[in-house]
Amino acid sequence: MKQAVFYISDGTAITAEVLGHAVLSQFPIDPEFHTIPFVDNINKAIAVRDKINEAYLQSGIRPLVFFSIVSEQVRDHILSSKGFCQDVVQSLIAPLQQELGIAPIASSLRRPYGLTENNMLKYDARIAAIDYTLAHDDGISLRNLELAQVILLGVSRTGKTPTSLYLALQFGVYAVNYPFIADDMDHLTLPSGLLPHKAKLFGLTIDAERLSAIRQERRENSRYANLRQCRLELSEVEALYRKHQIPYLNTTNFSVEEITAKLMETMNLQRQK
């Protein structure tokens, strides 16, 4: 049975996600994530509370709830749920208040820390990177690739989307990801639109057994998840990487944070200031 995990915020829920993921990575559980941003009024809070309670009734396991909400009334509705609720900000504020000897001033997490002009520019730049990356997810578009700082390649379920989004969210990197599908395998080539940008290409691969297991969760007993099909796709794609001298990484034993760190080092990318 999967463990339901909720990330809830009156803002983007990025803070709750990052802290929650960091904590949960220490435990051997099989999570099912639910991210619910912009819970900024009582009606939304009641709907979220009901969703948490429904997950509890279906599984009999208390959902884990990581939240960051300023409004006390909204927060109380979340706390009244059947979930195990952790306020990711307040849990840090109390010991800090004791240490610093001053009271905190409540502020919405939808705003970046320190509303200086310079910080707002940094915040806007990161949002722009996220918008760009979402617009270029999973081969949706190959337009404006001159703006891309890295273009991720790989077969389905090798970690392209979470890696590209992590790059944008945490580092402000303009990332594109392009998938190779089963129909590409007979005559696998680099798309003509990517050829002028070979210096930006970075490949992801994975062990066939692990890929098959991941795909089984998505489409059980399908050709898509068949171990032989996974081996074929990975063999063809890795041969393409070698042919075009595209750097690539086997993601089997790495978290998205580790994949990102290795990618940035290989591609000589820097956090955007």
Does domain 3-100 fall into CATH 2.60.40?
Answer: no
pLDDT single digits (tens) 156-203: 999 999 999 989 988 889 999 999 999 999 899 999 999 999 999 999
In whole angstroms, give the CA distance from residue 264 to residue 250: 15
Give per-residue pLDDT as tens, 89-110. Answer: 888 887 888 888 888 765 544 4
The count of C-alpha atoms lying within 13 angstroms of the C-alpha of 45, restricted to the half-sphere facing its C-beta, is 20
Long-range pairs of 37-40 with CB within 8 A, sequence gap ≥ 24:
37/8, 37/9, 37/11, 37/12, 37/13, 38/9, 38/10, 38/11, 38/12, 39/8, 39/9, 39/10, 39/69, 39/74, 39/78, 40/10, 40/71, 40/74
Question: In angstroms, rounded to a whole number, what is the distance separating the alpha carbons of residues 59 and 36?
Answer: 20
- Domain layout of the chain by residue ranges: 3-100, 117-267
The pLDDT assigned to 79 comes to 96
pLDDT > 90: percent of the chain: 63
Give residue-wise pLDDT tens across range 218-244: 899 999 999 999 999 999 999 999 999
117-267 is a CATH 1.20.950 domain: no
What letter would DSSP give residue 142? -
Give the global pTM.
Answer: 0.61
